[in-house]
Amino acid sequence: MNKSSIAAACLLLLTLSSCANTVRGMATDVKDTGQALDSSTRRVVKAAN
């Protein structure tokens, strides 16, 4: 392998690892949003009773 192929492979791996971190962060955000919505719904239901 020449140096440009190795550099391209390293760049590709770096890019893919960044995508994994983004997806993991998005999953955390979605989970937090669901918990906040659940909490808000419970407070509304409790206030209505």
CA 4 vs. chain centroid, Å, equals: 32
Instruction: Please report which confidence band the pLDDT of residue 22 belongs to, taking 50, 70 and 90 as the band edges.
Output: confident
Query: pTM here?
Result: 0.58
Tell me which residue has tokens 């971190």. 21
What's residue 44's pLDDT? 92
Alpha-carbon distance of 11 to 3, in angstroms, equals 12
Q: Could you write out the DSSP letters of every residue in 21-42?
A: HHHHHHHHHHHHHHHHHHHHHH
* Average of per-residue pLDDT across 19-28: 82
